Amino acid sequence: MAHAEFERKVNEIARITGHSVEFNRSGVNHAVLNAPFTDSWKNREGRKEDRFYESVSIRSENGRLNIYGWCPNAKDGSRFRCEENKITVSQEKTAQQIAKDMARRFFPAYRQTLNEVVEQVKEYEVFMDNQASCVKALAGVCGVKDIRDDGRGNLTGFYLYNSLARGEVKVSGGSVTIELRGITGDQAKAVLEALKG
């Protein structure tokens, strides 16, 4: 399929499906359709935003259009290809026929997968928010200002150096690991007594 014909057909598909379109400009017949996926929801700062998008690739190969979706990755904000959500259609079909095929064969399963992934992303963000709150609260108790993160801005713990003890506090979600070194037997007993509850 000629590149100009590919662009014309994909632009028409995007118009029908309500997506914006970005074309790969390296001469390959490849485009990505994008549209906000979910209604606005409140982010960490309480502001509404649309940040989850349907991201659908259309690539022309061997007389067929390969159509597949992308999903957000909770760990680092990147995307991954949703391998189970793909279809192929003849590139000889009209844009209207292709859009109908996408509506019937592609979008239902892709949107279900995207819903599940978006929920996982939101759960992960709540998990990380809880972890950050816990780290800050524990650091405040010890008067520590130097808090570690994992390189992606997620707070993970801190080192404890003072006249009474040395050690490390690590937080994963709501689970806390405390390692103390150089404390006296009486200090260890006091810590263990406090844990008896």
Residue-wise pLDDT tens digits, 17-39 = 999 899 987 878 999 888 877 64
List pLDDT tens digits, range 71-80.
776 555 556 6
Say if residues 31 and 24 touch (Cβ distance below 8 Å): yes
- Secondary structure letter of residue 83 according to DSSP: E
Answer yes or no: is pLDDT of 126 > 60: yes
Radius of gyration from C-alpha coordinates of the chain = 25
Together in a domain, 151 and 94: no
Average pLDDT, the chain: 82
pLDDT for 104: 96
* CA 115, 120, 126, 132 torsion-angle sign: negative
Q: Report how far residue 110's alpha carbon sits from residue 130's, in angstroms, rounded to the nearest whole number.
A: 30
Phi/psi zone of residue 149: left (φ > 0), alpha (ψ -120 to 50 degrees), beta?
A: beta
Together in a domain, 98 and 45: yes
Together in a domain, 64 and 160: no
Q: Which of 124, 145, 169 is the last residue of a domain?
A: 124
Together in a domain, 96 and 156: no
Together in a domain, 138 and 159: yes
Q: Report how far residue 10's alpha carbon sits from residue 50's, in angstroms, rounded to the nearest whole number.
A: 24
Together in a domain, 85 and 132: no
User: In sequence order, what E strands does the chain have?
Assistant: 20-23, 30-36, 41-42, 48-49, 53-61, 64-72, 79-90, 147-149, 155-161, 166-172, 175-181
pLDDT for 78: 58
Answer yes or no: is pLDDT of 40 > 60: no
Give the count of domains, the chain.
2
Together in a domain, 182 and 192: yes
Together in a domain, 118 and 131: no
pLDDT for 12: 96
Together in a domain, 108 and 189: no
Q: Which domain holds residue 188?
A: 126-196
Q: Could you give the 3-state DSSP secondary structure of residue 116?
A: helix
